[in-house]
């Protein structure tokens, strides 16, 4: 019997877009994602179940905010025009509707972003009492800024990295069990069935929903767990209508939030665990080498078909200018990397416009 898999935290959220450098530039300037882990054009040859059975050319950038939190994988098709949703996305539709980013000072984030398309009338509290507000990026992706005190390093930008996501589900209790049993989100911060005033400005936000905000009671461990930090999953079930699939009749990589990715160790054990709970791997890469990064990735679907990615990292660039890459296969997977080594990633910071 294999040892249990180790989940170190949310590694990144995938953002399908039509212009990878324009999108990254907005996230670099406004949300502090200025440290690239990789920037590569290649063929997505292994995602055939989600790309119409055909390998597709793409360009992807994985960028980090070194204050802490997960990264953003900014992903663009290069051989076809990515498609928008076939219907206006409403809160509670099935899939990832909102990306959460954390802020040490919610008023400072509000002031920094007020020139953008703010969707909240003011800073409000969510059902867990956390102060937050919503905005849209220029590409119609809904963003939530949530106040947090959990940081790798608390300075550098008005906000940090990805804190979690809001996912529309059709059966709340089934989904709670899935995210608890597989991903360790065992602590309920809020469980509210009502009209929610903090959603009044969101599409569909004046209807009734059951909202459950989950986190993990046990701190994550693993090489980059200090950087990724704690995270939250907000599950939403629409009560006044039948929700639609956000990615209905579209491909993975089309416009919007395409997946939620976890950093893990022990892929074989995870494969067994996913099969046991009825969520088998739908994609399994085996070992890969992208030049700047290497590892093993796999995908599963949550009970409503939302894509969850797992990445076991084998090599990561610490300081590209000097050719310094860390071989993760030689380390104890449960041991955190030293803080100085993680901070060295910040030496790859991109300060000028990314498309120059």
pLDDT digits (tens, 9 = 90+) for 98-108: 999 999 999 99
Q: Distance (Å, rounded) from C-alpha 44 to C-alpha 42?
A: 7
3-state secondary structure 306-352: CEEEEEEEEEEEEEHHHCEEEEHHHCCCCCCCCHHHHHHHHHHCCCC
- Inside any domain, residue 307: yes
Query: pLDDT band at 293, cuts 50/70/90?
Result: low
CATH code, 123: 3.10.180.10
- Please report the pLDDT score of residue 346 as a whole number: 86
Q: 110-124, 214-228, 284-298: which has the minimum mean pLDDT?
A: 284-298
Mean pLDDT of 24-47: 94
- Inside any domain, residue 354: no
Q: What percent of the chain has pLDDT over 90?
A: 80
- Please report the pLDDT score of residue 313 as a whole number: 86
Select the highest-mean-pLDDT range: 168-172, 219-223, 332-336.
168-172
Segment 128-163, tens digit of pLDDT? 999 999 999 999 999 999 999 999 998 899 999 999
Domain encompassing residue 135? 6-348
- Please report the pLDDT score of residue 231 as a whole number: 98
| CB neighbour burial string for 117-153, b if at least 16 within 10 angstroms, e if fewer | ebbbeeebebbbebbbbbbebebebbbbbbbbeebbe
Segment 305-330, tens digit of pLDDT? 999 999 998 777 666 666 667 777 77
- Inside any domain, residue 184: yes
- Inside any domain, residue 173: yes
Strand partners, 308: 260, 300
Whether the predicted pLDDT of 3 surpasses 90? no
As a whole number, the mean pLDDT across the chain is 92
Mean pLDDT of 30-34: 97
Mean pLDDT of 289-294: 64
**In the chain, how many domains are there?**
1
Strand partners, 25: none
CB 115 within 8 A of CB 266: no
- Inside any domain, residue 77: yes
- Inside any domain, residue 356: no
Reading phi first (left if > 0) and then psi (alpha if -120 to 50, else beta), residue 223 is in alpha
- Please report the pLDDT score of residue 191 as a whole number: 98
- Please report the pLDDT score of residue 291 as a whole number: 59
Select the highest-mean-pLDDT range: 68-72, 116-120, 333-337.
68-72
Whether the predicted pLDDT of 242 surpasses 70? yes
Q: What is the residue-wise DSSP string for 192-222?
A: EEEE-GGGTTSTTTTSEEEEEEEE-SSPP-S
CB 209 within 8 A of CB 196: yes
Whether the predicted pLDDT of 221 surpasses 90? yes
- Please report the pLDDT score of residue 1 as a whole number: 36
DSSP state of 246: T
- Inside any domain, residue 1: no
- Please report the pLDDT score of residue 329 as a whole number: 75
Strands 71-77 and 6-16: parallel
| Tokens matching residue 152 | 């790798």
- Inside any domain, residue 180: yes
């Amino acid at each position: 019997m294999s040892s249990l898999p180790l989940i170190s935290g949310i590694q990144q959220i995938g953002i399908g877009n039509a212009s990878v450098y324009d999108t990254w530039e907005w996230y670099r300037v406004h949300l502090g994602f200025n440290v690239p882990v990789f920037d590569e054009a290649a063929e997505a040859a292994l995602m055939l179940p989600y790309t119409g059975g055909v390998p597709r050319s793409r360009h992807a950038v994985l960028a980090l905010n070194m204050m802490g939190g997960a990264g953003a994988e900014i992903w663009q098709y290069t051989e076809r025009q990515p498609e928008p949703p076939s219907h206006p996305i409403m809160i509670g539709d099935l899939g990832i509707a909102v990306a959460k980013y954390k802020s040490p000072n919610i008023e400072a984030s509000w002031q920094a972003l007020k020139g953008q398309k703010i969707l909240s009338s003011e800073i409000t509290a969510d059902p867990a009492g956390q102060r937050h507000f919503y905005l849209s990026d220029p590409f119609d992706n809904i963003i939530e800024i949530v106040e947090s005190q959990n940081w790798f390093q608390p300075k550098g930008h008005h906000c940090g990295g990805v804190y979690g996501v809001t996912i529309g589900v059709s059966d709340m209790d089934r989904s709670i069990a899935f995210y608890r049993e597989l991903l360790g989100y065992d602590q309920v911060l809020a469980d509210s069935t009502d009209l929610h005033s903090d959603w009044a400005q969101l599409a569909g936000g004046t209807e009734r929903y059951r909202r459950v905000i989950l986190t993990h009671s046990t701190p994550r461990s693993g090489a980059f767990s200090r950087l990724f930090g704690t995270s939250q999953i907000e599950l939403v079930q629409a009560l006044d209508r039948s929700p639609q699939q956000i990615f209905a009749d579209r491909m993975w990589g089309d416009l919007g939030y395409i997946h939620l990715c976890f950093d893990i160790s022990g892929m074989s054990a995870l494969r067994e665990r996913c099969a046991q709970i009825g969520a088998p791997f739908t994609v399994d890469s085996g070992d890969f080498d992208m030049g700047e990064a290497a590892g093993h990735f796999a995908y599963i679907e949550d009970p409503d078909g939302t894509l969850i990615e797992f990445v076991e990292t084998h090599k990561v660039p610490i300081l590209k200018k000097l050719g310094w890459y860390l071989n993760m296969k030689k380390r104890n997977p449960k041991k955190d990397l030293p803080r100085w080594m993680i901070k060295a990633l910040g030496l790859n910071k991109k300060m000028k416009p990314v498309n120059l």
